[in-house]
Amino acid sequence: MALKDFLTVLDALIEQATAAFATAADAEALEAARVEFLGAKSGRLKAVQKDLGGVDKADKPAAGKRFNEVKQDLEALLAAATARLSGGGSTKSAEAAFDPTVPGARARLGHLHPITQTIAELCDIMGRLGFTVAEGPEVEDLWHNFEALNIPLEHPARDPLDNFYLATAAAGAGVPTGEGQWLLRSQTSTVQIRVMERTKPPVRIISLGRVYRPDTPDATHFPMFHQIEGLLVDRHVTMADLKSILHLFASSFFEDDVQVRFRPSFFPFTEPSVEVDMSWEGRWIEFGGAGMVDPNVLSAVGYDPDEVTGLAFGLGIERICARRHGIPDIREFFKNDVRFLQQF
Ligand code: DAH
């Protein structure tokens, strides 16, 4: 092949490639052009390279030089076209697109979950009444969740259908392990026991946290919810103290003179036991249970029931929070839908 013919082919190639790269409207078109001209297997440049072998020997250096130039030009054209399509190509248009007068994106500030807010407020109110906050584990043993609370082995409250027993649990020194020895606590009353075991009376604590029960979710039930537990043990503590504490508590929280009503009930760990209702816009709403600590519970933690008496209560925090805000369905608390949460 004559040098002249070879150069003509190269010239035509670069002209067509320039047009193709410059007019490619999107990445897909550009890629098609790249394959056509620079494709490693059957690109047109590759085909021209094969012709190089047929050029007269004396003209080979000149043909090879031109071939390399064209190859580099094509690669540069491709790079420029890629930059153009990815938007970084033209600094001019990028500058034009930046408008310094447009207000910036507002940083979104989160806030505490309504249940967390309620917990903080309850701690505050009860703190003013002299109660300190105590904590206990959510994975509990049978002693603290049942036995010490006067709920013996044959009691229906221990039914596996009503509790989340754990198949296994971490072994610790002197700690029973194995199936059914541990559960997700079903009530915060467990913390009463934990506190009394490590403190001498008087005791004046609240404990707030999650509890777990295998309930089917509906407007008023969820398998995990929160309780506030209160415990006061001292000499001469009476049912009248219980009622006045709950009355003060409810009136502070709802910022109204809320009436508190006791209905007779039964809990294994209190004697007598009551259901606690509070008046709300002309209706009685049940918030939880309460009572005088059963002497068996005081004995279980080594207290002398002839020396001290105690009052205790356990209320549902979702219910308290839902009442305050008029939320009809407690499932809303746990959907994590920002449109709901940002209202509080
Ligand atoms: N633990 C009970 C429950 O979850 C609520 C309760 C009732 C707690 C009476 C108490 C109490 O401290 O004295 O249903």
Supply the pLDDT for residue 255: 84
Supply the pLDDT for residue 92: 54
Task: Check if 150 has its Cβ closer than 6 Å to any atom of ligand 1.
Answer: no
Distances (CA, A) of 145 to 157, 165, 193, 236, 293: 10, 11, 9, 27, 15
- 93 CA distance to ligand 1 centroid (A)? 69
Task: Check if 310 has its Cβ closer than 6 Å to any atom of ligand 1.
Answer: no
- 189 CA distance to ligand 1 centroid (A)? 6
Supply the pLDDT for residue 1: 81
* Residue of minimum CA distance from atom 13 in ligand 1: 290
Supply the pLDDT for residue 344: 92
Residue 165, classified by CB atoms within 10 Å of its CB into exposed (0-12), middle (13-18) or buried (19+), is middle
Supply the pLDDT for residue 179: 65
Q: What is the DSSP string of 100-116?
A: TTSPPPPPPP----HHH
Residue 116 has which token pair? 């967390």
What are the extents of the domains in the chain?
3-97, 114-138+187-341
pTM of the model: 0.69
Q: What is the dihedral of CA 29, 31, 32, 34, to 10 degrees?
A: 130
How far apart, in Å, do the first and last CA atoms of the chain sit? 84
Angle between helices 27-38 and 60-85 (to 10 degrees): 170
* Residue of minimum CA distance from atom 5 in ligand 1: 314
**Of 267, 311, 318, which is best to mutate to test ligand 1, by the most ligand atoms within 8 angstroms of its C-beta?**
267
- pLDDT mean for each 10 residues of the chain (344 residues): 89 91 90 92 89 89 92 91 75 67 87 96 97 96 96 94 82 60 95 97 97 95 97 97 96 90 97 94 90 97 97 96 93 94 92
Task: Check if 270 has its Cβ closer than 6 Å to any atom of ligand 1.
Answer: yes
Supply the pLDDT for residue 107: 87
pLDDT (tens digit, 9 = 90+) per residue, 58-74?
Answer: 999 999 999 999 999 99
Supply the pLDDT for residue 174: 55
| Nearest to 240, CA basis, from 267, 209, 274 | 274
Q: Which CATH superfamily is domain 114-138+187-341 in?
A: Bira Bifunctional Protein; Domain 2 (3.30.930.10)
- 123 CA distance to ligand 1 centroid (A)? 18
